Chains A and B, each alone.
Chain A
């Protein structure tokens, strides 16, 4: 080994694990023969001892406890706000889901209602067609029957009322107008003029009808 080689790899041969056994032996042999390189090796040994002493002095160094306190405080703050945010997100999702469910149920109910209404209309249409031939008779009978009994026939959709507070208004109208009040009318006799008594409540709305005598 030459002095240049010794300077490059030899003066820390003891520590340098990357050196082969032959290189290490050559370094030791060179240091034994060359006083300059031996001095370099000695210098490094001395420097290394000082380095070790310096390392030992800082060996026990630890982060001050205030750092741990600060970090734990930050950790708590961070995770508390994360928890709050997570709860808020969950709540918003819950509300959104509830709104969707409510909307869906409402829409289904509305659609079912529409379907029922259509079914009623077609059913009523069919019934009307079936009874068209004797509609006039039926209507007359109903009204006549009520009339005979002296009772008014409540109009469809009328509210429960106290007949004592209502007044009777006699009107002359075409029979066809009864259909506007929800009664079946024989179309052949729709243009006939009839006289009816309307039971009118305080709010001015007719609640019941009867054929006047």
Chain B
């Protein structure tokens, strides 16, 4: 790569639109991981996330003029496409998330704590990660999105609101409902008696 790392996304996209493959590659490498992470956390499937990321950049290859610099950064534009694709995927195949088996490497959390010291601890942590994954994936998409963005991606409410395209209050209430549901599910998974109104 000879293109400097600090070249702005908009410039790279402009060059890519004119056929500069190197600019396109730099742009891809700059954003793919975050988009893949979001997709994998939302769908629970590495295969689906891979397809989603591919779709996002295919859109960029085929219709680079779809991006309007006046409406925000390239990253936000890509995230918007990712979000749409994820929602479509969830609408189309809502049960996909539960079909992956424990043995598959495509399962999120498969790489969890490979440096754990004992097999027992590793197994326990793996089991806990599995429970959390299941609990997150069982959340309704809009709550899941708020939890993924604010708790896993560690975005602020403002950033999450900008990414989702809704008011901060909405993010806050979705996050609260999502966390309550998540807590209820995790408590349930741990077989600990939960508060009667948790998750309501």
Contact = CB atoms under 8 A, between A and B. Distances in A.
A58 B37 contact: yes
B50 A18 contact: no
Interface stretch (A76-84, A101-109, A125-133, A143-151): A76-84
Given A18-B168, A36-B195, A74 B132 contact: no
Nearest to B153: A55
Interface string A33-61: 00010011001101110111111011111
Interface in B35-84: 35-37, 40-41, 46, 49-50, 53-54, 57-58, 61-62
Interface stretch (B5-13, B86-94, B104-112): B104-112
Contact of A57 (B53, B54, B111): B111
Interface stretch (A64-72, A89-97, A188-196, A205-213): A64-72
B19 interface: yes
Contact of A67 (B54, B129, B133, B156): B54
Contacts of B37: 58-59, 61
Contacts of B152: 51, 54-55, 58
A48 B180 CA distance: 11
B112 to A, nearest CB: 4
A61 to B, nearest CB: 5
A7 interface: yes
B171 to A, nearest CB: 9
A8 interface: yes
B19 A83 contact: yes
Interface in A1-56: 7-9, 12, 16-18, 36, 39-40, 43-44, 46-48, 50-55
Contact of B40 (A44, A51, A53, A61): A61
Interface residues of A, number: 41
Given A8-B176, A51-B152, A53-B129, A40 B33 contact: no
Nearest to B112: A57
Nearest to A19: B172
A86 B179 CA distance: 54
Interface string B7-38: 00000000010010100110011001101110
Interface string B173-200: 0001001101100110000101101100
A57 B155 CA distance: 18
Contact of A75 (B33, B61, B179, B197): B61
A47 B25 contact: no
A158 interface: no
A167 B100 CA distance: 108
Interface of A: 7-9, 12, 16-18, 36, 39-40, 43-44, 46-48, 50-55, 57-64, 67-68, 70-72, 74-76, 78-79, 82-83
28 contacts: A7-B180, A7-B197, A16-B172, A39-B195, A40-B195, A43-B183, A43-B187, A43-B194, A46-B186, A47-B183, A48-B151, A50-B186, A51-B136, A51-B151, A54-B112, A55-B41, A55-B151, A57-B113, A57-B129, A58-B37, A63-B32, A63-B35, A63-B36, A67-B57, A71-B57, A75-B24, A79-B21, A83-B19
Closest 9 CB pairs of A and B: A57-B112, A79-B19, A55-B152, A54-B132, A63-B36, A63-B32, A50-B132, A63-B53, A47-B186
